[in-house]
Amino acid sequence: MDINQAIRTRRSVGKVAAEMPDRSLIEKVLEAARWAPNHHMTQPWKYFVLSGNARNRLGEVMAEIKAEGMTEDERVEAASQLEREREKPLRAPVIIAAAVSPSADSRVEEIEEICAVAAGVQNALLTAHALGLGAIWRTGKPTYSPKMKAFFDLSERETLLGFLYIGHPAILPKERPRLPIAEKVTWLES
């Protein structure tokens, strides 16, 4: 697929089939992610591939995070909400968790490390699309919880940036309108 076509036709696919994509396709998605640009060649990314029962374990952590601060009575009352939280990772047969492991080099700005991982995620999303897979980058408060950090054994300096839910598309999302580029660009010429 031509890169411009991939960029213009890629959409977040929130509903995918339960069928597990071939592992070689997931490996191609990960390989694309590793070619993201990064200052000082720090390669600050960490990727975790979850499938099978690992998604259930992730769901348990998500439910625990949602239940934080609730009394036992509130947990009983919110049982269906907590169950929905538990089931979120089961919406896709494969989840890739993307984390940033910033360099300790004093020349390196942490924001640049985060941007490098985000660029890797975009490479992954475009590659998944070009391979005929559906994918969506999901985040939210549980992503940044200390419990989630512990689940992935991330250090204090490391940060989870989100989850790529990947599978064979079960829907074809509609194109969403974009603002004209002229509304988002200012040319500074002198």
Name the residue ranges covered by the structural domains of the chain: 3-183
Strand, helix or coil for residue 45: strand
What is the pLDDT confidence band of residue 129, given thresholds at 50, 70 and 90?
very high
Model-level pTM? 0.93
Task: Tell whether residue 34 is among the known ligand binding residues.
Answer: no
Task: Tell whether residue 103 is among the known ligand binding residues.
Answer: no
Strand, helix or coil for residue 47: strand
Task: Tell whether residue 137 is among the known ligand binding residues.
Answer: yes
Predicted confidence at residue 29, as pLDDT, reads: 98
Task: Tell whether residue 12 is among the known ligand binding residues.
Answer: yes
Residue 175 has pLDDT above 90, yes or no: no
**Mean pLDDT across the chain, nearest whole number?**
96
Cα gap 72→17, rounded to integer Å:
36
CATH of domain 3-183: 3.40.109.10
Query: Which strand ranges, in their side-by-side order, compose the sheet holding 159-167?
Result: 45-51, 94-100, 159-167, 134-138
Task: Tell whether residue 139 is among the known ligand binding residues.
Answer: yes
pLDDT, tens digit, 9 for 90 and up, residues 34-67: 999 999 999 999 999 999 999 999 999 999 999 9
Report DSSP state, residue 49: E
Question: In a 10 Å sphere around its CB, with 0-12 CB exposed, 13-18 middle and 19+ buried, how is residue 125 labelled?
Answer: buried
Residue among 176, 118, 130 at smallest CA distance from 3: 130
Residue among 53, 21, 17, 68 at smallest CA distance from 171: 17
- For 89, the enclosing helix (H) or strand (E) is none
Task: Tell whether residue 11 is among the known ligand binding residues.
Answer: yes
Predicted confidence at residue 172, as pLDDT, reads: 87
Task: Tell whether residue 8 is among the known ligand binding residues.
Answer: no
What secondary structure, in 3-state letters, does 153-167 show?
CCCCCCEEEEEEEEE
Cα gap 134→125, rounded to integer Å:
8
